[in-house]
Structure 1
Amino acid sequence: MTQAQKGICAEPNLHALYLTFTVVDDDSQAIRVKLARILDLLSYFDDEYYEAMVSGVLAIGTNYWYELYPDIIPKELAPFPDIHCEDRNAPNSPGDLFILIKADRIDICHAIGVEIVQLLKPHVDLYEEVRGFRYLDGRDFTGFVDGAENPRGMKKFDVAIVGADDPDFTGSSYLHIQRYQHNMQKWQLLPIAKQQQIMGRQKTDNRLLNSADLVTDSYTARVQITTPNKNNSALLTQNMPYGDMSTQGIYCVSCANSPLPFIKLLKSRIFGDDEGHYDKLLDYTTAETGGAFFAPSVTFIKEHAKD
């Protein structure tokens, strides 16, 4: 039976480490073998430190996929969408491999990251390292709960995992990343009522605003992406705040059984509707990185490490 990577649908953790690598040599077989070893490494730490609730996601950049697995291509594999409108942008940054490490202990995230970086040398350069953490009761630095639109329970697997329609890649996931940096000074000048209008939710209890008060340029309105079965949960996100005393933002990871929901969401936020109602939250936060990746099943990675 095909096994999906544990971290795709895992419950939220207290800490995360986001690692993006660029591959600097052409030894594809060595990379394939080491990807399988990374999965073994995650399993080892999960067993050894079971109380830390360790999980991870290993994904291959959509451009690099054609070098790493040239003979077998996911049905909907696509590059990161190039979307720009006025001062709202979705930049595409370098990235051949992306690894998300999650745990309830920051030292375990660090220890796994060190092992992975050492394992991948000298084949890669570390492009970016970001450490995320749970903030208060699952909130972003804006003060609002993040992930309110996420599916729950077994619905997560229906949304995030490729099914039998692409049998070679059952158990896989299309993954997109974006790192946003907030303008907290500008945001904090807003009265709470205005913040709630922009987010489309109450700040204290995360309740949706009444339909009469929910404006079309709110974040909530712009991310309500319908699927053919009218289910608004078209994406599963694994987001976390990151930052220090000078810089604050959110690292966004979207998982889905197709790249189309993410593309549709990005267009909805940046371009807006036919009347130009874009996501007003983008006036207070800026995407600084972006990338399209594909997270194959554990079964796929281990089978192709033997080639």
Structure 2
Amino acid sequence: MSNEQTGILAPLPKLARYLSFELAESETARESLEALQEIADGHEVVIGIGQSLTLALGAEIPGLTILPARACVGFDIPSTPAALWCWLRGEDRGELFHLSRRIEIALSDAFRMIHSADGFKYDEGRDLSGYIDGTENPEGDEARAVALTGADEAAPTDSSFVAVQMWEHDFDQLDTYSREEQDDIIGRRLSDNEEMEEAPAYAHVKRTAQESFEPEAFMLRRSMPWSHGEQGGFIFVAFGHSLHAFQAALDRMAGVEDGIADGLFRFTRPRTGAYFWCPPMRDGRLDFSALGI
């Protein structure tokens, strides 16, 4: 019997809302998390725990850390850790609004919201650049093995680790590139989503080919576009049974290995970046036993 938060493996919803919280009062953290258990079902509301919260509770989740910041040639990769992350999944924007209010009220004795963003599904799963995201996502049993911890791992079984980044696109800059140049940046043709064998070394697909790492860096992507006014981009969300795959891919994108930066940085930048641990479920409730709750 599996006990994961089912929203991790479920297909992308039509709409999403992402909430990040800092811990304001550690003395009441347990009570607030118990209140959260009454709301978060693991499907419509997926929960991630940050390292600062585990430390405040006197707990340790093996493998959980914070995303390291990177200063690269011409751009920065920020680290913006948070104590708690909530991924709200749904089909109605009004319902997501009221659900987020319920969560914020339930957590108000101990947590303070520091960031929120709304996501949406675009066409068949495209980024606002027009390119399809997650083409090589694992499916079925393979997705489960990639995204969830097993009984032989140090973290609790059926839990998961997640990397979350909010990327902001410069659409004016993107528009200066020809269709061929945009295809080169991604490493796939927009017209048919086929991978380009002769793509340049900076192409995103080449930089992040999951099987090219040692060990292989497979992850389950659950990303969605966001927009606010004239701004827009991508909420990158990737689940794994550890944080290795994402960190390896991000380091290569940044050119840590060979000085070649991913082509994506030509028109987009990450504005946030954080790692979280997603606890399993037990008897229909979030299982916070590893946190002493």
The TM-score, its normalising length taken from structure 2, stands at 0.91
Choose between structure 1 and 2: higher helix proportion: 1
- Secondary structure (helix, strand or coil) at the match of 1:226 reads helix
**Is the contact between residue 222 and residue 272 of structure 1 (CA under 8 Å) also seen in structure 2?**
no
Aligned to 2:244: 260
Question: Where does structure 1 differ by over 6 angstroms across 4 or more consecutive aligned residues?
Answer: 227-230
Structure 2: how far apart are the matches of 1:216 and 1:89?
A: 21
Aligned to 2:61: 74
Residues 77-112 of structure 1: per-residue CA shift (max 9 Å, x gap)? 222122221223221114110000111222222222
What stretches of structure 2 of length at least 5 have no aligned partner?
none
Q: Work out the CA distance in 2 between the residues paired with 1:29 and 1:55.
A: 22
Identity of paired residues, percent?
Answer: 24
Deviations 1:234-272 (A, max 9, x none): 111111111134101101111100111111011010125
The counterpart of 1:250, out of the listed 234, 239, 242, is: 234
Q: What is aligned with 2:20?
A: 20
SS in 2 for 1:263: helix
In structure 1, stretches of 5+ residues that fail to align are 44-53
Instruction: Name the aligned partner's letter for residue 237 of structure 2.
Output: V
Counterpart CA distance in 2 for 1:272 and 1:208 is: 24
Question: Match of 1:55?
Answer: 44
Change (3 A) 1:13 1:280: same
The answer to whether the 8 Å contact 1:177/1:251 transfers is yes
AA matched with 2:247: I
- Verify the 8 A CA contact 2:32 2:108 in the aligned structure 1: no
Residue of 48, 54, 58 corresponding to 1:65: 54
d(CA) in 2 for partners of 1:83 and 1:198?
21
Count of paired positions: 289
In the alignment, the residues of structure 2 paired with residue 18 and residue 25 of structure 1 have an alpha-carbon distance, to the nearest angstrom, of 22
Cα distance change of structure 1 residues 285 and 278 upon mapping to structure 2, 3 Å threshold: same
How far apart are the structure 2 equivalents of 1:168 and 1:61? 14
Q: Which residue of 2 aligns with 1:295?
A: 278
Preserved contact between residue 32 and residue 106 of structure 2 (Cα < 8 Å) = no
Post-superposition CA distance 1:36-88 (Å, at most 9, x none) = 2232xx47xxxxxxxxxx623101112221223x24x2221222122221223
Q: CA deviation at 1:115?
A: 1.2
Equivalent residue for 2:71? 84
1:142 match: secondary structure: coil
Output the aligned Cα RMSD: 2.2
Letter in 2 for 1:62: Q
Q: Which residue identity is paired with 2:127? A: D
Q: Report if the CA contact (8 A) 2:149-2:160 is conserved.
A: yes
Whole-angstrom distance in 1 between the partners of 2:76 and 2:288 = 38
**Cα distance in 1 for residues equivalent to 2:99 and 2:254:** 36
Conserved? CA contact 1:32–1:301, under 8 Å: no
